[in-house]
Amino acid sequence: MQKAPHILNTSANLAGICFLVFTALNGLNLNEKSILDEMTALAMLLFVSSSLLSFMSMRSDGAKSSQYERWADYIFFTGLLLLLALTLIITIAEGMRIRWR
């Protein structure tokens, strides 16, 4: 079975972007943690986990490889859905001029 490295590349890039956003949010020195911080941190963890599982899939053979790749896909998709939710929250909050804390 041919391995698909696209999950590894894309999830590693998205984890880096989430880390940048998380750092920027914390750099604003908000007094309270916001829901955006929590969601960004969770997305970052999901993408790092997906990267790790994808790497393990490429390094192993047989049934374990397929299982790792399947889990990497599921976790990656969950991270994408979380980023979609985060984007909607930011867009709606900006449209309504509400600060989410």
What's the gap between Cα 26 and its chain centre?
17
Taking the whole predicted model, whether its pTM rises above 0.85 is answered as no
Q: Give the residue extent of every domain in the chain.
A: 6-96
pLDDT band at 2 (very low <50, low <70, confident <90, very high): low
26's enclosing H/E stretch is helix 6-27
Tell me the per-residue pLDDT of 11-59, one tens digit each, with 9 for 90 and over.
Answer: 888 888 888 887 777 776 655 567 888 888 899 999 999 999 988 988 8
Does residue 15 or residue 98 have the better pLDDT?
15
Q: How far is CA 13 from CA 20, 33, 48, 101, in A?
A: 11, 25, 10, 27
Report how far residue 94's alpha carbon sits from residue 101's, in angstroms, rounded to the nearest whole number.
13
Distance CA 99, CA 32 (A): 11
| Residues 50-70 pLDDT 10s | 999 988 988 888 888 889 999
